[in-house]
Amino acid sequence: MWTPENAIKYPIPTLKTIDTHTTTQSLLFSPIQYQNLSLKQRTWVPAMVPWRSNLKGEVTQDVIAWYQRFAKGKPGAIVIEATGIREVESGPLLRISSDHYLDGLTQLVHAVKEASEGETKIFIQLIDFLQIKKRVEAQRFFERFIHIDQALIHRLSQYLQDDSIYLLPKAEIIQKLIFISEQNDAEEKLKEMLSPKQYRDLYWGYREEINDEHLAHIQQLPTQLPQLFGQAGIRAKKAGFDGIELHYAHAYTMASFLSATNQRKDGYGSSLENRIKLPLEIYHTLRSQLGDYPIGCRFLGEEIIAGGTQVEESSFFAQEFAKAGMDFLSVSRGGKFDDAMKPKVGQSAYPYTGQSGYECMPTVYSDQKGPFGRNLQTVATIKQKLKALHLDTPVIYAGGIHAFEQAEGILIDQKADIIASARQSLADPDWWLKIKTGKSDQIRQCQFTNYCEALDQHHKQVTCRLWDKIGLDQNDVRLSNDGKRRLEAP
């Protein structure tokens, strides 16, 4: 994973004991009500993908146990992991793509509500994503995936200084490309010879983009996605979820429509107004079908890639989402494929390995900005611009939250309205409750080394190094597939 130059290791701040009088008077543990959104407190466990499902994307007992554990900490809200809206294989990622999944999702909702004793609202994050393939060796790539066009033939003939290339059959041209790929300086040569997309597909693996309008199914996304999201939303409401979070963030389809890299020519790209068009159409489809039901989205304040979306643009998106009637806005940061590290042959690119990935989940190895609150100025700017237009849509802050004073200060300064914590909640699902009840000295503090994220990168069941080796020999402990780690925090 990318790390800032000359990074230093930051200490984890020592927790202070917070008395119950302070928490009783706090904003963090006060209720919030806006339009269709109603929470008993402003604590939020954001969506995390724990790889607890099966290859069919069904709710398993491991999935239920995972969310029950968070629910016992009684946060204001829990957002169920990114859940696929299409009938496509996606590993052990939850799906909501047909009525087949309704019974399992309904059981999950009931389990969370029971575990939290009705204190916690449960939302589900709906996601669409495009196809990505593992990187293959050069010979296989050229034999199976390369498109031989005149531009490539021209560049190859220039490199070889041989005009006879134009007369060769495709098979012989491919053999010449394979020969070049076996040279010591192959990557440098092929970067000049291949188109930018061909070069990327060779060294990072084939990946579809929303700009691939020559592909019929990519061209049809604007006509298909509102219906797919709408059907998934109806199922979510039937299953009993308290609301929906539309996944418009990171490396996936809808974030790509919002991105400054969106250059579609069909009226859904380039300008700000065109880039937000499909996200709004999806929202309006859901609103028309679900009525007075909590619907919000998670989107990026900044993409942290070359030529990517900046805070001025994301502020515009936030304003348009708020004007449209969304019930909450959750602001994330980075996590893009564009700057991902080159995967090994046989592996897929992972969107949290470059600088944008670091900014999404910074570690204690950081630069002068430090690892805590790197997203705060961006979120505060978005919140300020909403307030200037008298838009009161709740804004959710996430990024390096680790202590009561930090979270409370953000709310007091009106830089956000709700506080989300992923990694600290994973380290100790009870941490909000411990603060609230005067037991903050008993909190298991996240070390922000991203052990959990490394497991996610390899599609392993996500756990925390602070607790996944505790009590492995106990009968009631649920173990990982390899039997080496416990799956829920003690």
3 state SS of 333: strand
363-410 per-position pLDDT tens digit? 999 999 999 999 999 999 999 999 999 999 999 999 999 999 999 999
Task: Quickly count: other Cβ atoms within 10 Å of residue 285's Cβ.
Answer: 18
In terms of C-beta density within 10 A (0-12 exposed, 13-18 middle, 19 or more buried), how is residue 143 classed?
middle
What is the spatial distance between Cα 67 and Cα 161, in angstroms, rounded to a whole number? 62
Is the CB of residue 379 less than 8 Å from the CB of residue 23?
no
What is the spatial distance between Cα 332 and Cα 282, in angstroms, rounded to a whole number? 20
pLDDT at 89: 83
| Amino acid at site 296 | G
42-77 per-position pLDDT tens digit? 999 999 999 999 999 999 999 999 999 999 999 999
Helix ranges (H only) for 376-490 are: 376-388, 404-412, 423-427, 431-436, 451-457
What is the spatial distance between Cα 85 and Cα 283, in angstroms, rounded to a whole number? 14
Q: Rounded to the nearest 5 degrees, what angle is found at the Cα of 218, between the Cα atoms of 216 and 224?
A: 95
3 state SS of 418: strand
In terms of C-beta density within 10 A (0-12 exposed, 13-18 middle, 19 or more buried), how is residue 443 classed?
buried
pLDDT at 147: 87
> Could you identify the residue written with the tokens 């806005």?
329
Range 282-304 average pLDDT: 98
Identify the weakest region by mean pLDDT among 1-10, 66-75, 100-109, 259-268.
1-10
Would strands 418-420 and 395-398 be described as parallel, antiparallel, or unpaired? parallel
Task: Quickly count: other Cβ atoms within 10 Å of residue 347's Cβ.
Answer: 13
Is the CB of residue 122 less than 8 Å from the CB of residue 78?
yes
What is the spatial distance between Cα 319 and Cα 276, in angstroms, rounded to a whole number? 11
Is the CB of residue 112 less than 8 Å from the CB of residue 122?
yes
Give the distance from CA 246 to its chain's centroid: 11
Is the CB of residue 243 less than 8 Å from the CB of residue 123?
yes
pLDDT(287) > 90? yes
Identify the weakest region by mean pLDDT among 11-15, 69-73, 247-251.
11-15
Is the CB of residue 190 less than 8 Å from the CB of residue 181?
yes
What is the spatial distance between Cα 39 and Cα 30, in angstroms, rounded to a whole number? 9
Task: Quickly count: other Cβ atoms within 10 Å of residue 157's Cβ.
Answer: 16
pLDDT at 96: 98
Phi, psi (degrees; rounded to nearest 5) at 443 = -70, 135
Phi, psi (degrees; rounded to nearest 5) at 192 = -80, -30
Identify the weakest region by mean pLDDT among 181-195, 229-243, 309-323.
181-195
- 66: closest CA among 395, 426, 336, 328? 426
Task: Quickly count: other Cβ atoms within 10 Å of residue 30's Cβ.
Answer: 15
pLDDT at 432: 96
CATH class (in words) of the domain with range 8-133+214-457: alpha beta
pLDDT at 490: 95
What is the spatial distance between Cα 317 and Cα 260, in angstroms, rounded to a whole number? 12
What is the spatial distance between Cα 202 and Cα 204, in angstroms, rounded to a whole number? 6
Is the CB of residue 360 less than 8 Å from the CB of residue 328?
no
> Six-digit token pair at 81?
């992991």
Range 462-490 average pLDDT: 95
Q: Rounded to the nearest 5 degrees, what angle is found at the Cα of 176, between the Cα atoms of 174 and 177?
A: 65
Residues 6+ apart with CB under 8 A from 328: 34, 37, 245, 294, 296, 393, 394, 395, 396, 418
pLDDT(459) > 90? no
Please state the pTM of the whole predicted model.
0.95
**C-alpha to C-alpha distances, 353 to 166, 316, 371, nearest whole angstrom:** 40, 28, 16
Is the CB of residue 321 less than 8 Å from the CB of residue 393?
yes
Name the pLDDT band for 101 (thresholds 50, 70, 90). very high
What is the chain's percent helix, strand, coil content, to nearest 5?
40, 10, 50
117-170 per-position pLDDT tens digit? 999 999 999 999 999 999 999 999 999 989 898 999 999 998 888 899 999 999
Give the distance from CA 421 to its chain's centroid: 14
- 314: closest CA among 427, 237, 395? 395
The whole-chain average pLDDT of the chain stands at 96
pLDDT at 64: 98
| Residue ranges, CATH 3.20.20.70, the chain | 8-133+214-457
Is the CB of residue 457 less than 8 Å from the CB of residue 353?
yes
pLDDT at 82: 96
**C-alpha to C-alpha distances, 410 to 262, 346, 406, 418, nearest whole angstrom:** 33, 44, 7, 9
pLDDT at 159: 87
